[in-house]
């Protein structure tokens, strides 16, 4: 930029000297205008002056243009300097931030490795839990089978005793031969031994069942398959979620058929690790003390999550049609179950709704229907899974659902 300024000053100086020489020359010509060739010399001199003036004007225009270019170049140079400063500042920021970025990447990679490792451990733990529950279920089933066989044998023995008692009443003891009396005494000893064995087996079975947790809230909070014994009756294999929730229903992909009869819905069906219905009778056993709460988690076909919670939830027994009782709603999915509160359960072969149509048959799934479509999570997948959103006055198209129950804290229980 300094060289351009020097060139500009030099050009200005040359033009100024040229103008000064022209003036001096004109002044000298005016003083010496004498002799025969003065006119010719004067014309030549004027032509030279004219040429010099033209050259001066051209030089002035060139100088002006060059001055404009110099100004533009000065601005460009300033812009380049500013750009260079910005680039240097950006490089400094990148240099300063690069170690932090590298540390964050390292942390993310380490976290990913930890997640992968934890996932593998959890998967292995779930598999171990499944194997343990399966083994325990097999043991309980074998014990139940042995108990049933012993019951059958006891019934046979009791029938024999009854027949023997009748025979003894019909015939006097004196008329019974000695060998028959010995046989009767031996038979009585066998019966006593069988009764003792059966009592022992029953006691062992009751002891095993009594030590099982009532629900997932009593298992220690683990996630996965667990064997529970909710109230009177045999044990159940249940899926336990976080925070002590016992999962009682799940829909994921339509792999399980839910268009079933009353008996299937009564006992339950499917796999607790996938799509399933725990069963109306197990639901009654879980909630019969009126200390249960319900949580319904949903995801619609657009991926949005919904939730409905009820602080009180219970299902009555078979004699009352497994009637639904819910209250104390909160959540963002609206209180759709309020429309079906105190309704009996309906299945394809047992229509107990108040609609003019058979809701369970039309929507291919059992539920506590009043009128058909306020809430139904057991209908045909991709067609009948719905939950009514009162805020928008429209139905949520459900793609995934999970119902789970848990005991309320501090509840004393009542029947």
Question: What integer pLDDT is reported at residue 37 of this predicted model?
Answer: 57
Answer for the pair 228, 238: CB distance below 8 angstroms, yes or no: yes
pLDDT at res. 84: 86
Question: In this predicted model, what pLDDT tens digit does every residue of 31-56 receive, in sequence order?
Answer: 555 455 556 777 777 787 788 778 77
Query: Which backbone phi and psi does 402 adopt, to 5 degrees?
Result: -150, 125
The segments of the chain whose pLDDT lies below 50 read: 2, 34, 172-176, 181
Residue 260 sits at φ, ψ, to 5 deg, of -125, 170
Distance CA(251)–CA(380), nearest Å, equals 10
**Three-state SS across the chain?**
CHHHHHHHHHHHHHHHHHHHHHHHHHHHHHHCCCCCCHHHHHHHHHHHHHHHHHHHHHHHHHHHHHHHHHHHHHHHHHHHHHHHHHHHHHHHHHHHHHHHHHHHHHHHHHHHHHHHHHHHHHHHHHHHHHHHHHHHHHHHHHHHHHHHHHHHHHHHHHHHHHHHHHHHHHCCHHHCCHHHHHHHHHHHHHHHHHHHHHHHHHHHHHHHHHCCCCCHHHCCCCCEEEEECCCCCCCEEEEECHHHCEEEEEECCCCCCCCCCHHHHHHCEECCCCCEECCHHHHHHHHCCCCEEEEEEEEECCCCEEEEEEEEEEECCHHHCCCEEEEEEEECCCCHHHHHCCCCCEECCECCCCCCCCHHHHCCCCECCCCCCCEECCCCCCCCCEEEECCCCEEEEEEEEEEEEEECCCCCCCC
pTM over 0.75: no
Q: Taking Cα atoms as reference points, which of 256, 144, 160 lies closest to residue 209?
A: 144
Q: What is the pLDDT of residue 249?
A: 98
User: What is the dotted CATH code of the domain comprising 224-407?
Assistant: 3.90.215.10
pLDDT for position 376? 94
Tokens 């044998």 belong to residue: 153
Q: Where are the domains of the chain?
A: 70-121, 224-407
pLDDT digits (tens, 9 = 90+) for 340-392: 999 999 999 999 999 999 999 999 999 999 988 789 999 999 877 899 988 88
10 Å CB burial of residue 42 (0-12, 13-18, 19+) is middle
């Amino acid at each position: 930029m300094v060289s351009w300024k020097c060139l500009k000053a030099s050009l200005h100086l040359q033009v100024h000297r040229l103008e000064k020489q022209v003036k001096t020359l004109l002044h000298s010509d005016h003083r010496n205008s004498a002799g025969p060739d003065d006119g010719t010399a004067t014309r030549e001199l004027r032509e030279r002056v004219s040429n010099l003036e033209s050259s001066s004007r051209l030089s002035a225009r060139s100088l002006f243009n060059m001055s404009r270019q110099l100004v533009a170049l000065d601005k460009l140079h300033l812009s380049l300097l500013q750009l260079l400063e910005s680039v240097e500042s950006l490089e400094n920021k990148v240099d300063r931030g690069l170690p932090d970025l590298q540390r964050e990447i390292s942390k993310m990679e380490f976290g990913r490795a930890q997640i992968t490792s934890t996932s593998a451990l959890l998967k292995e733990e779930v598999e171990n839990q499944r194997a343990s529950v399966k083994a325990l279920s097999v043991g309980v089933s074998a014990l139940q089978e042995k108990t049933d066989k012993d019951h059958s044998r006891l019934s046979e023995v009791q029938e024999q005793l009854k027949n023997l008692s009748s025979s003894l009443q019909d015939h006097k003891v004196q008329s019974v031969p000695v060998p028959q009396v010995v046989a009767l005494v031996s038979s009585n000893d066998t019966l006593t031994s069988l009764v003792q064995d059966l009592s022992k087996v029953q006691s062992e079975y009751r002891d095993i069942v009594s030590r099982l947790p009532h629900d997932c809230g009593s298992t220690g909070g683990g996630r996965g398959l667990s064997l529970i014994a909710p109230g009177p009756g045999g044990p159940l294999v249940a899926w336990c979620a976080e925070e002590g929730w016992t999962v009682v229903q799940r829909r994921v992909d339509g792999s399980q058929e839910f268009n079933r009869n009353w008996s299937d819905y009564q006992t339950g069906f499917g796999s607790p690790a996938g799509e399933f219905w725990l069963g109306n009778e197990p639901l009654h056993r879980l909630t019969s003390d009126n200390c249960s709460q319900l949580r319904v988690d949903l995801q619609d076909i657009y991926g949005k999550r919904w939730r409905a919670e009820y602080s009180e939830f219970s299902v009555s027994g078979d004699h009352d049609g497994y009637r639904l009782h819910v209250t104390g709603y909160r959540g963002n999915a609206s209180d759709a179950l309020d429309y079906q509160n105190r309704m009996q359960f309906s299945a394809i072969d047992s229509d107990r709704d108040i609609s003019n149509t058979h809701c369970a048959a039309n929507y291919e799934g059992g539920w506590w229907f009043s009128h058909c479509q306020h809430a139904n999570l057991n209908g045909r997948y991709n067609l009948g899974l719905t939950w009514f959103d009162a805020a928008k006055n429209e139905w949520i198209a459900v793609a995934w659902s999970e119902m789970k129950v848990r005991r309320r804290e501090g509840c004393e229980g009542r029947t």
